């Protein structure tokens, strides 16, 4: 196993992947958190014949015109989880919602996902710089427009900054804050009670009740001393997927077609429950873990 750090920079990721493919002759490239990074390495990995497994990023172009039989995901297509909050907002009867996301592929996918089921009025749709930490202008707009709810996808440190500023402005007292991945297990230690009352969607939770997840969480806490995040859960499933493919082919990794087919048929105890391979009309192969109706 060779570990490379993309530093969340597409250019650096491309350089690292070029070395992994040409120098190290890797059979799998696994990982990738940010969608812009995945888009940067997607073509060279796929064209090399290696198998690409995303444990997080799921940009929509890869589920459409760029679809490849050598790409697998143990997470999602980006817009899926955000669609849950769009449905929630529609069901709650919010008629005017303010949308906020960073200006990159995952941000655009997020807001498109929200709008799949939400049919009310979007009072404004703002895309910030990726990595932004000052949201004073956006908060001023929210005050002026007076929406019934705010939906935000703001990953990493940007999300922590947004939650703090939103609460400090007092907006959390009267304008519901909705998100996917902004409020969650990665940000709660930093924001604490400021997140009280905020609603978030995720496809995994640390207390998800199934034997595989309970074993995973217990072992992770014993090893590292803290609870895992959804990043860890998806990466664990990615490792299980690779393991299942290698076992099924008896370790014959140079037979790329057999290895690809083994990944398609792979069965393992996912932390999210049962798993099935879904083959969609335009020959898209994606892994859907668990039941979409249980997304939370």
pLDDT of residue 274: 74
Give whole-number Cα distances, 189 to 103, 154, 184, 227, in Å. 26, 16, 9, 11
Rg over alpha carbons for the chain, rounded to the nearest Å, is 20
Residue by residue, pLDDT tens for the chain (296 residues) are: 999 999 999 999 999 999 999 999 999 999 999 999 999 999 999 999 999 999 999 999 998 888 999 999 999 899 999 999 999 999 999 999 999 999 999 999 999 999 999 999 999 999 999 999 999 999 999 999 999 999 999 998 999 999 999 999 999 999 999 999 899 888 888 899 999 999 999 989 999 999 999 999 999 999 999 999 999 999 999 999 999 999 999 999 989 999 999 999 998 999 998 766 555 443 333 333 333 333 32
Q: Which of 179, 233, 189 is nearest to 208 (CA)?
A: 233
pLDDT of residue 288: 35
Q: Which residues contact residue 291 at a Cβ distance below 8 angstroms, ignoring those fewer than 6 apart?
A: 273, 274
Q: Which residues contact residue 128 at a Cβ distance below 8 angstroms, ignoring those fewer than 6 apart?
A: 100, 101, 102, 103, 135, 138, 154, 158
pLDDT of residue 296: 26
Question: Where along the chain do its domains lie?
Answer: 10-76+229-294, 81-201
Q: What is the DSSP letter of 294?
A: G
**How far apart are alpha carbons 177 and 161 in whole angstroms?**
14
Q: Which residues contact residue 275 at a Cβ distance below 8 angstroms, ignoring those fewer than 6 apart?
A: 266, 267, 268, 287, 288, 289, 290
Q: Which CATH architecture has domain 10-76+229-294?
A: 3-Layer(aba) Sandwich (3.40)
Q: Which CATH architecture has domain 81-201?
A: 3-Layer(aba) Sandwich (3.40)
Quick check: 135 and 165 in contact, CB under 8 A? yes
pLDDT of residue 292: 35
Give whole-number Cα distances, 4 to 29, 212, 228, 287, in Å. 10, 28, 21, 25
**How far apart are alpha carbons 203 and 213 in whole angstroms?**
13
**How far apart are alpha carbons 170 and 177 in whole angstroms?**
11
For every residue of 200-218, DSSP letters joined together read EE-S--TT--SHHHHHHHH
Please report, in angstroms and rounded to a whole number, the separation of the first and last CA atoms in the chain: 33
Quick check: 286 and 73 in contact, CB under 8 A? yes
- In this prediction the pTM is 0.85
Two domains, one topology: 10-76+229-294 and 81-201: yes
């Amino acid at each position: 196993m060779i570990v490379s750090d993309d530093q969340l920079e597409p250019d650096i990721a491309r350089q690292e992947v070029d070395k992994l493919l040409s120098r190290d002759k890797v059979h799998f490239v696994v990982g990738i958190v940010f969608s812009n990074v995945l888009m940067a390495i997607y073509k060279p990995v796929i064209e090399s014949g290696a198998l690409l497994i995303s444990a997080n990023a799921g940009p929509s172009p890869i589920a459409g015109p760029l679809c490849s039989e050598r790409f697998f995901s143990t997470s999602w297509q980006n817009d899926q989880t955000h669609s849950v909050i769009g449905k929630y907002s529609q069901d709650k009867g919010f008629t005017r919602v303010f949308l906020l996301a960073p200006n990159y592929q995952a941000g655009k996918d997020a807001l498109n996902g929200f709008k799949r089921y939400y049919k009310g009025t979007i009072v404004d749709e703002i895309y910030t710089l990726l990595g932004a930490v000052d949201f004073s202008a956006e908060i001023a707009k929210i005050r002026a427009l007076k929406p019934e709810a705010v939906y935000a996808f703001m990953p990493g440190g940007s999300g922590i900054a947004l939650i703090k500023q939103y609460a400090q402005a007092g907006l959390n007292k009267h304008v519901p804050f909705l998100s996917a991945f902004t409020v969650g297990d990665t940000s709660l230690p930093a924001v604490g009670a400021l997140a009280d009352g905020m609603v978030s969607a995720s496809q995994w939770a640390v207390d998800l009740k199934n034997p595989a997840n309970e074993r995973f969480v217990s072992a992770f806490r014993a090893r590292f001393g803290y609870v895992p995040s959804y990043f860890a859960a998806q990466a664990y499933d990615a490792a299980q997927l690779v393991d299942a493919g290698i076992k099924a082919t008896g370790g014959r990794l140079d037979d790329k077609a057999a290895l690809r087919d083994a990944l398609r048929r792979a069965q393992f105890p996912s932390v999210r429950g049962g798993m099935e391979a879904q083959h969609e009309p335009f020959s898209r192969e994606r892994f859907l873990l668990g039941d979409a109706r249980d997304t939370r």
